[in-house]
Amino acid sequence: MIIEEGLVAYLTSYAGLSSLIGTRIYPLRLPENVTYPALTYQRISSQRVQSQSGPSGLAFPRFQFDCYAKTYLAAKNVAAQLRAALDGFKGTMGDVPVGSSLSQSDRDFYDPNTRIWRVSIDFIIGHEE
């Protein structure tokens, strides 16, 4: 299983988050006619640990999560549950061993054309490949 599959499995099973978005977690972009609130994720970068003997099997990708909602507070609530689920997490996501998950930054946005609010949060997730 790759980390993206593990992330989705873990996040859809996290009660506080799934109570808000259900299974509406999508890679890269929202589908047309999506029900809000919803969440997208994308890998921004990947750092892999190398040793003198070659790849270590450890990776530290940066993921960006975007929390979308029709109101500012709804987007912030999804972001708060995402942060509760991921910040400081150690364990397994699906069957992927995760050694660390740390929040890096967050930003707020509003799109006046769609009237949708978005909170973006970046996490670096250290895991075994």
What average pLDDT does the chain have? 95
pLDDT band for position 91 (cuts 50, 70, 90) = very high
* pLDDT on residue 92: 97
The residue among 52 and 107 whose pLDDT is bigger is 107
* pLDDT on residue 14: 98
Domain map (residue ranges) of the chain: 3-128
| CATH architecture type of domain 3-128 | 2-Layer Sandwich (3.30)
- Share of residues in the chain with pLDDT > 70 (%): 97
Per-residue pLDDT tens over the stretch 64-79 = 999 999 999 999 999 9
Work out the number of other CB atoms within 10 angstroms of the CB of residue 34. Answer: 14
pTM of the full structure: 0.92
Distances (CA, A) of 11 to 56, 85, 100: 27, 7, 15
Q: Give the chain's length.
A: 129
* pLDDT on residue 17: 98
Strands 25-27 and 38-45: parallel
* pLDDT on residue 57: 77
Q: Using CB atoms within 10 Å of the CB of residue 111, give its burial: 0 to 12 exposed, 13 to 18 middle, 19+ buried.
A: exposed
Q: Which of 103, 35, 19 is nearest to 64 (CA)?
A: 103
